[in-house]
Structures are given as C-alpha cells and as structure tokens.
Amino acid sequence: MTNPSENVHFRAAEAADTDAIVQLVESAYRGDASRTGWTTEADLLDGRRTGADDVAACLARPRSRILLAERDGVLLACAHVAEEDGCGYFGMFAVQPGLQGAGIGKQVLAECERIARTEWQLPAMRMTVIDVRDSLIAFYLRRGYHRTGIVKPFPYGDARFGLPLRDDLRFEVLEKSLQTEPTA
C-alpha cells in the first residue's frame, strides 16, 4: 500500500480549480463528511466555510497563491498563502478528511512556508485559528508556531464565515519566524 504522503505534487491553483477547492474545503470542515477527519468545525459552525468568491479573491490578489497538493491528478489538499502586512499569511487549509493525519498537511504547510520564505523573502508566517480549536492549535505549536496573544473577534452575523453554533468564538493569531531554514 502506498503511503498517502508520498508522490505528492504541488501546483498553483487556477480559476478552473475553484469548484474542486470549494468542495475540498467544505468537506474538511462542515457537515457529517468532515467528521471523518480531525479538523471538523461541524460542532462549532454550520453554513459555508468558503465559496467561489473567496477563491476568486485569493487568486486575484498580488503575492497570493492557493497551493494545491495532488497525486495522479487527484486533489488531496489545498492552502492559501499570501503576503499580508509584511509577513506571510496561511489560511484556507484543507486535507481530504480520510487522509488527515497521514502527513500531507505537514507537507502543504512546509511548502507554503517555503514560498513565503524563499520566493517572497518574508520574515514570518501568520495565521488565525478559532481559539477553542485546541487540537488544531497544538498541531501548529508542534510545527514551530507560537501564540502571539492577539485575538480577533469572530465575525458574527456575516454568513460568509459560517453560522456559529456557539457564542464564544474568536480568532487567535499564531506566528512562526521564517528567518532560519527548517530542520529536517
């Protein structure tokens, strides 16, 4: 049996990939299908996680890329990496629910960090994570991110970010220095 994280090919998304990206992100975070993986937000949020409008906006931005991870032409994972406020920004991260925990996500994160560090010469990578997602925050902490102490309000009332199922959600900013080469 092939290791799910082997033979992964990266490429930049194009407009023609929009539907596949939206479907992947939704499957990883919303509804019963997302419960197969460990990144589900199904108990926190209902409604959409992303849409074609979000994908189009990411593709149109300068110094912005939606990275696709594929094997044999099959979409396994995606993430958005962009320059924001002089640093890299990492978001829209999704791995097929049945492949979560197999190492593909770690490869995608590392490739996005490489893009920000070597192609764009950015000093750090930042992201926002819903602060009650303890296991997800722990995943990023193990990859060298740290809690900045910065929290941002969750956009309650804006259905583009989902329909909250609880009233205590907010975003926490995590950051990692990209100044040194990662260790193997």
pLDDT one-digit tens code per residue, 114-145: 999 999 999 999 999 999 999 999 999 999 99
Give the DSSP H or E segment for 142: helix 134-142
CA–CA gap between residue 47 and residue 162 (Å, rounded): 5
pLDDT greater at residue 56 or residue 1: 56
Asked whether 63 and 120 are in contact (CB, 8 A), the reply is: yes
- pLDDT for the residue 4: 67
Q: How far, in Å, are 105, 108, 179 from residue 92 at the CA level?
A: 12, 11, 24
For residue 9, count CB atoms less than 10 angstroms from its CB and return exposed for 0-12, middle for 13-18, buried for 19 or more: exposed
Domains assigned to the chain: 9-177 (3.40.630.30)
Tokens of 162: 């989902």
Strand partners of residue 32: none
pLDDT one-digit tens code per residue, 4-61: 668 899 999 999 999 999 999 999 998 888 888 888 888 899 989 999 999 999 999 9
pLDDT one-digit tens code per residue, 142-181: 999 999 999 999 999 988 888 999 999 999 999 999 986 5
* Model confidence band, residue 184 (pLDDT cutoffs 50, 70, 90): very low
